Every structure is written in structure tokens, then in C-alpha cells.
Structure 1
Amino acid sequence: MKNNEKVRLLVKYALLIAMTTVMTMVIRIPTIATNGYLNLGDMVVFVAALLLGKKGGLIVGGLGSSFADILAGYTHYAPITLIVKGLEGYIAGAILETRVGKRVPLLATVIGGIWMALGYYLAEIFMYGAKAAIVGIPGNLMQGLFGAVTSIIFFKALKQSRINI
């Protein structure tokens, strides 16, 4: 890989991490039972997986989302978010690299979103108990599914625009 290609890749990572952080922080809908919030950052995590594959999804999802938690005062969630959102991007990216994922990219992003809801549920069982944790599942599923659908729409529009990405 040439130096200019390395710089272009580094810039893509930096921009997508920053976009994930911003989209996570712009609209925050608090979830009372789990002391967390719903956001739009998943869309960018999935776009990163679509553009950069599983490694990009992992890095952008983990770092961008956990930076948002730190900046928004949800530091208790940052380590969990680093793992859950990183794996969300990795899972979507890994599926996108398969024949099925290439044919039906929405399936890959939906599975990533389902993992995100499950991952937060598992972590929140230990933080708040099973009853409080289960209350967060519908909101997290909605957030993940919204991110899954909007990322595919955005990615297709980006490809049709013929912008060199």
C-alpha cells in the first residue's frame, strides 16, 4: 500500500469515527430504565462496515460510539459500547464479505443491529438486573434496525453519486 493510499484510508477512518460520534450525540433519546440513550450512530457504523469491511466496522463502531459516551457523560457505558458497537460493525462487515451479504446487505446490517441489542441486554443484566435490562431491548432493536435500513439507503445513494469513496 502506497503512502497516499494509507493517508486516504486513515482519513476515512477518522471521518467515520467522527461522524459516528456526532450522529450518536446529535439526537439522544434517554432510556430511563437503563440510564442510557437511543441514537443514530448505528447508521454510520454500518456505513463503515459497507465501505471498509469488518475491520473498519470494528474500529469505527467501537471508537466512535465509545467517544460519544465519554463526551456525553455516559462514561459508565464506554467500555461496554467499545465492545458491543465494535462487534456490531465487525459482524455486519464479516457478513457483508460473504456471498449472501453481498447479495442482501440489509441482512448483514440487521444481524449487526440485533447483536447490538443483545450485547447491551447482556451487559445491562449485570448493571441493572434482568427486569430493567429487558426494558431496553425494544428501543435498542428499533435503533439497530433503523440504522440498518438507513445505512443501506445512504450507501446506495453514495454509490450512485459517483463520489470517489
Structure 2
Amino acid sequence: MKVQSVSKLTHLGLFAALIFVATYLLKITMPIGYIHLGDGMILAGATLLGPAAWLPAAIGSAMADVMLAYTSYALPTFLIKGLVGFLAGLFLQKVHQVKGAIGIFILVELLMVAGYFVTEAFMYGFNGAIPQLPANLLQGASGVVIGAVLFPSIVLLRQRYQSRQR
């Protein structure tokens, strides 16, 4: 196995673990769910790993749902967070400024909110999904803020990471 493959696999595994821990442990429980730091870690992973961030985003987030007994959300979370990781990673590949990254962060977090709204409308009906919107929007906003704070440091890591891959 090539060193590049081992390095990439290691980074994917580390981000899956980081996303899991940030979702599972670093959370604020609310009556309508919980807010966690996992989305910020997904955006950091997408900044560093590009579209390959879909895998740690999907695995880390879904595993947190399973461990937190939100098992009915595990599959939708796998799909939604995987898509968020993929699209953020795809769009962030050429972005070097926080201003551009924030727009992408907002876009993918709104996609996350829409994904959970559709999921919850299917599970609980349209009226049952509406009360979850504020918590999901707050979750998305926290991801945008954390992603924006971490972005400059992650871009420096990305430059080092990419120079090693050549």
C-alpha cells in the first residue's frame, strides 16, 4: 500500500473519530433534541479532505446517533451528513478566504436543515417536522461559526497536506 493511501485512510479515520466525539460528547441537550459541535468538525474535515470528507461525516455522525439512541435517525444522518461533507469538500477545494468559505458553509448547513426537515416530515408529518426547524437551524448556525473559526488554520494544514501528496 502506498504511503499516500495510508495517510489518506488515517486522515479519514481521524476525522470520523473527531466528528463522532464532537457529536456524541460535545453537545447541549434541549427539549427538542441536542446541539453539538460535530457539524463544525464536518466542515473542518471537508476543508482539509475535499469531497472524501463524505465518509467520515457519514460514519462519525451516524455512529453518534446510534450511540445516543437516535437509531431511527442513523440512516438519514448517514445520507444527509455524507452529502454535506461531500458538497462542502467539493466546493471548498479552491477556497482560501474565510468570506468565501462562510457562503459555502451556510449553503451546506441549509441543505442539512432541509434534509432533516424532509426526514422528519416523513417520520412525523409536516406539522411534526416544523417544531424541529429552530433546533436544526441553530445546529447549522453553530456549524457555520465553528467552521469559520477553524477555517484559516485548516487551510494551512490543507496546503501542507496537499504538498505532501505530490
Shorter-chain TM-score range:
0.7 to 0.9
Q: Structure 1 residues 129 and 90, CA, compared in 2 at 3 Å: closer, same or farther? A: same
Choose the corresponding residue for 2:49, options 46, 49, 52. Answer: 52
1:27 aligns with 2:23: no
1:113 aligns with 2:109: yes
Q: Larger relative contact order (C-alpha < 8 A, sep ≥ 6)?
A: 2
* Deviation (angstroms), 1:32: 4.2
Question: Between Structure 1 and Structure 2, how many residues are aligned?
Answer: 159
CA distance in 2, matches of 1:89, 1:77: 17
What code does the residue aligned with 1:155 have?
Answer: F
Q: Percent identity?
A: 32
Counterpart of 1:146 in structure 2 is: 142
Counterpart of 2:164 in structure 1 is: none
TM-score for the superposition, normalised by structure 1: 0.85
Q: Structure 1 residues 37 and 162, CA, compared in 2 at 3 Å: closer, same or farther? A: closer
Q: Write out per-residue CA displacement over residues 12-46 of structure 1, whole angstroms, 9 at most, x where no aligned residue.
A: 1111000100100113344545xx43211001110
Q: Which secondary structure does the structure 1 equivalent of 2:34 belong to?
A: strand
1:72 aligns with 2:68: yes
Is the CA contact (8 Å cut-off) linking 1:85 and 1:116 kept in structure 2? yes
Instruction: Provide structure 1 residue ranges, at least 5 long, that are not aligned to the other structure.
Output: none
Is the CA contact (8 Å cut-off) linking 2:44 and 2:154 kept in structure 1? no
Q: Write out per-residue CA displacement over residues 31-78 of structure 1, whole angstroms, 9 at most, x where no aligned residue.
A: 545xx432110011101110011222x112111100111111111110
CA distance in 2, matches of 1:68, 1:55: 20
CA distance in 2, matches of 1:41, 1:135: 22
| Runs of 4+ deviating beyond 2 Å | 27-33, 157-165
Q: Write out per-residue CA displacement over residues 101-129 of structure 1, whole angstroms, 9 at most, x where no aligned residue.
A: 55501111111111001100000001111
CA distance in 1, matches of 2:92, 2:106: 11
Counterpart of 1:40 in structure 2 is: 37
* Deviation (angstroms), 1:139: 1.4
* Deviation (angstroms), 1:94: 2.1
Choose the corresponding residue for 1:88, options 79, 84, 90. Answer: 84
Q: Structure 1 residues 48 and 40, CA, compared in 2 at 3 Å: closer, same or farther? A: same
Larger displacement relative to structure 2 (155-164 or 88-97): 155-164
Is the CA contact (8 Å cut-off) linking 2:58 and 2:81 kept in structure 1? yes
CA-based RMSD: 2.3
